[in-house]
């Protein structure tokens, strides 16, 4: 398996009243398995909008909606011509004959939004089974004290990419914050904030997302907390998802900061602290999450574009806009971006940039920039599966390549008809009961047992 991507940049009108594919965001029959899905969709508001019209995005697998993945946005007549980006993170498990899609629907077709830059990425979970905690019913909070929202109970010890996402609304000047704790200890840089400005009070215009690396020890819970951090009244959120994708420390890189960074220019500039230095030549799923702030905005919208750079060059189609429309002053808004990125050399950096078209001062707060890759030995392009003939097995030997093969040393020959090859060891065969390390050249030569009519040489990925 490889990291899979579906993307598009051409405008697509979001005006269907039944769940309909967002053009470009579908992957046809990916191989059976568990995947972390991460999608970001930039959408542009029309010149005039109708208050109260809802837009929904949902993940579908095999034509069936994945529960808890619906994210809602509600139009307001005061917000015109602004662009925002919504994100969804979830675990999906297609069976090999099912498509994976992002679909949309609207409650009315009068003033539709337009989808612009968008991408859906599937990251295979090959190290071990991913963990997901989800809910579909609404949750509310009116307390300024942090409270538990979602808990992944004592996941196995290891390193995980943790994502969380939801959508919701609140009354005027009501702000909500989310953060992640491991074993009761706050993960620095994980706090995200969204505030409801008075002109969009009680509208579903909040997409709360985050992505951070966590390392529980096997006895610790991973918890998402939330609170009403400002204002009065009750904050409501809808469907929500917490995911933990297992990885290895060497295969996930993270840059983070809790220090505020401000800029008032119109140049494309690096966000302080958002550089992943020399992650290694490979393919990565890259995710950025944070929240930003503008003060009083003039007559023009504050159009902020976030973009990923690799080796100093903007990654194609990675631009995502998060506008503060001119009527929305002095509020914190969640921002997110993400893409499949190919790092072209061992010395290439990954960087997160931002740019505004006006000179209003913008400030970004706690933020996290993550890049995760597949562990090289878990990639099926490095492996060969071969089946014995029937009814009499072919004489063999059968060669199993786990990596590019240097000329020496010679292969190791072992009798047996089934082998499960792990990451660093050569586990016991089903019939012989041996255990041995893989040879340096990664090649196993297998001879079927006498008298076996059928057989199979395959792989099983072990932690």
The CATH number of whichever domain residue 253 belongs to comes to: 2.60.120.40
289 shares its domain with 414: no
% of the chain surpassing 90 pLDDT: 61
Highest mean pLDDT among 14-28, 69-83, 98-112, 226-240: 14-28
- CA dihedral of residues 398, 402, 403, 408 (deg, nearest 10): -50
Query: Band of the pLDDT at 379, cuts 50, 70, 90?
Result: low
Residue 112: the pLDDT is: 87
Question: In angstroms, rounded to a whole number, what is the distance separating the alpha carbons of residues 364 and 462?
Answer: 41
The whole-number pLDDT of residue 447 equals 42
Same domain, 140 and 257: yes
Q: What is the pLDDT of residue 201?
A: 66
Report how far residue 158's alpha carbon sits from residue 134's, in angstroms, rounded to the nearest whole number.
Answer: 21
Q: Please report which confidence band the pLDDT of residue 299 belongs to, taking 50, 70 and 90 as the band edges.
A: low
Say whether pLDDT at 423 is over 70: no
Strand, helix or coil at 381? helix
- CA distance linking residue 223 with residue 90, whole number of Å: 16
377: in domain: no
Considering the domain architecture, whether residues 152 and 237 belong to the same structural domain is answered as yes
Q: Looking at the structure, tell me whether residues 336 and 398 fall in a common domain.
A: no
- Whether residue 75 is found in the same domain as residue 200: yes
Sign of the Cα pseudo-torsion (224, 225, 229, 233, in order): positive
- Confidence category of residue 81, pLDDT binned at 50, 70, 90: confident
Lowest mean pLDDT among 104-108, 238-242, 278-282, 299-303: 299-303
Do 442 and 408 reside in the same domain of the chain? yes
Residue 323 lies in a domain: yes
Of 323, 349, 372, at which residue does a domain stop?
Answer: 372
More confident residue, 449 or 372: 372
Q: How many CB atoms are closer than 10 A to CB 208?
A: 25
The stretch 156-182 carries a mean pLDDT of 93
Q: Which has more confidence, 402 or 350? A: 350
Mean local confidence (pLDDT), 334-343: 96
- Say if residue 323 is in the same domain as residue 452: no
- 458 and 339 fall within a common domain: no
| pLDDT beyond 50 at 425 | no
Tell which residue, 292, 290, 364, has the closest CA to residue 328: 292
What does the DSSP assignment read for 151-167? Answer: EE-SPPSSEEEEEEEEE
Residue 378 in domain: no
Under 8 Å between Cβ of 457 and 419: yes
Query: Do 170 and 36 have their domain in common?
Result: yes
The answer to which of 10-24, 42-56, 145-159, 443-457 has the lowest mean pLDDT is: 443-457
**What are the Cα distances from residue 205, in Å, to 139, 159, 199, 292?**
16, 33, 11, 15
Report d(CA 124, CA 38) in Å as an integer.
11
Quote the pTM value. Answer: 0.82
Are residues 287 and 177 both part of a single domain? yes
Please state the rounded mean pLDDT for residues 419-440.
36
C-beta separation of 125 from 245 below 8 A? yes
Q: How far is CA 430 from CA 42, 243, 378, 422, in A?
A: 51, 34, 21, 14
Range of the domain at 461: 383-463
Asked if residue 384 has pLDDT above 50, the reply is no
Domain co-membership, 279 together with 408: no
């Amino acid at each position: 398996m490889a990291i899979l991507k579906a993307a598009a940049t051409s405008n697509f009108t979001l005006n269907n009243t039944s769940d309909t594919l967002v053009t470009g965001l579908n992957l046809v029959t990916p191989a059976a398995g568990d995947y972390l899905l991460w999608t970001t969709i930039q959408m542009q508001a029309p010149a005039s909008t109708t208050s109260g019209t809802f837009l929904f995005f949902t993940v579908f697998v095999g034509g069936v909606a994945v529960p808890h993945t619906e994210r809602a946005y509600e139009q307001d007549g005061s917000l015109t011509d602004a662009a925002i980006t919504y994100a969804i993170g979830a675990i999906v498990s297609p069976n090999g004959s099912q498509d994976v899609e992002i679909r949309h629907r609207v409650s009315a077709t009068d003033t539709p939004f337009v989808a612009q830059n968008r991408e859906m990425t599937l990251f295979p979970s090959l190290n071990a089974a991913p963990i997901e905690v989800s809910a579909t019913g609404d949750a509310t909070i009116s307390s300024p004290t942090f409270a538990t929202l979602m808990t992944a109970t004592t996941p196995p010890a290891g390193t995980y990419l943790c994502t969380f996402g939801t959508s919701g609304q609140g009354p005027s000047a009501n702000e909500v914050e989310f953060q992640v704790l491991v074993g009761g200890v706050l993960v620095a840089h994980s706090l995200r904030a969204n505030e409801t400005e008075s002109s969009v009070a009680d509208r579903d215009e909040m997409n709360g997302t985050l992505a951070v690396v966590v390392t529980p020890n096997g006895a610790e819970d991973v918890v998402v907390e939330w609170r009403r951090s400002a204002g009065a009244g009750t904050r409501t959120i809808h469907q929500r998802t917490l995911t933990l994708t297992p990885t290895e420390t060497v295969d996930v890189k993270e840059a983070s900061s809790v220090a505020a960074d401000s800029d008032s220019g119109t140049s494309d500039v690096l966000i302080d602290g958002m550089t992943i230095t020399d992650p290694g030549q490979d393919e990565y799923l890259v995710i950025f999450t944070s929240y930003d702030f503008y003060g009083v905005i003039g007559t023009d919208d504050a159009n902020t574009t976030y973009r990923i750079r690799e080796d100093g060059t903007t990654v194609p189609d990675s631009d995502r806009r998060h506008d503060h429309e001119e009527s929305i002053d002095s509020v914190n808004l969640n921002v997110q971006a993400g893409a499949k990125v190919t790092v072209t050399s061992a010395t290439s950096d990954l960087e997160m940039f931002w740019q505004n078209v006006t000179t209003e001062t913008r400030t970004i707060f706690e933020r996290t920039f993550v890049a995760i890759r597949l562990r090289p030995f878990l990639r099926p392009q490095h492996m060969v599966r071969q089946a014995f003939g029937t009814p009499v097995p072919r004489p063999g030997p059968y060669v199993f390549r786990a990596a590019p093969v240097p000329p020496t040393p010679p292969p190791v020959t072992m009798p047996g008809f089934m082998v499960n090859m792990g990451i660093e060891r050569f586990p016991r065969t089903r019939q012989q009961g041996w255990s041995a390390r893989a040879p340096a050249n990664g090649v196993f030569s297998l001879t079927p047992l006498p008298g076996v009519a059928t057989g199979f040489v395959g792989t099983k990925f072990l932690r």
